[in-house]
Amino acid sequence: MERKKVYLSSPERLKRDAKKLFEEKKALCANYGFELMEYPEEIYINKDSYENNRKLAEKRLQMIKDCDIFIADTNDFRAYVEPFGETALEMGIAFGFDKKMYGYMKDTRVCSLRYSGKKEYDEENKSWKDANGIGFEPGPVNLMLEYSAKIIEGGLEDALKKAKEEEDVH
Q: What is the pTM of this model?
A: 0.91
Q: What is the pLDDT of residues 121-134, one digit of tens each?
A: 999 989 999 999 99
SS3 130: strand
Q: What is the pLDDT of residue 170?
A: 65
Exposure of 163 in the CB half-sphere (CA atoms within 13 A): 33
Report the C-alpha gap between 127 and 10 in whole angstroms. Answer: 30
| Element (DSSP H or E) covering residue 45 | none
Q: Kindly list the distances between the CA atom of residue 19 and the CA atoms of 16, 53, 84, 158, in Å, as whole numbers in the listed order.
A: 8, 19, 19, 21
For residue 44, pLDDT over 60 is answered with no
pLDDT, one tens digit per residue, over 56-73 is 889 999 999 999 999 999
Helices (H), 97-155: 111-114, 143-148
Q: Where are the beta strands (DSSP E) in 10-126?
A: 34-36, 69-73, 100-105, 119-122
Domains of the chain in sequence order = 4-109+141-169 (3.40.50.450)
**Confidence (pLDDT) at 43:** 47
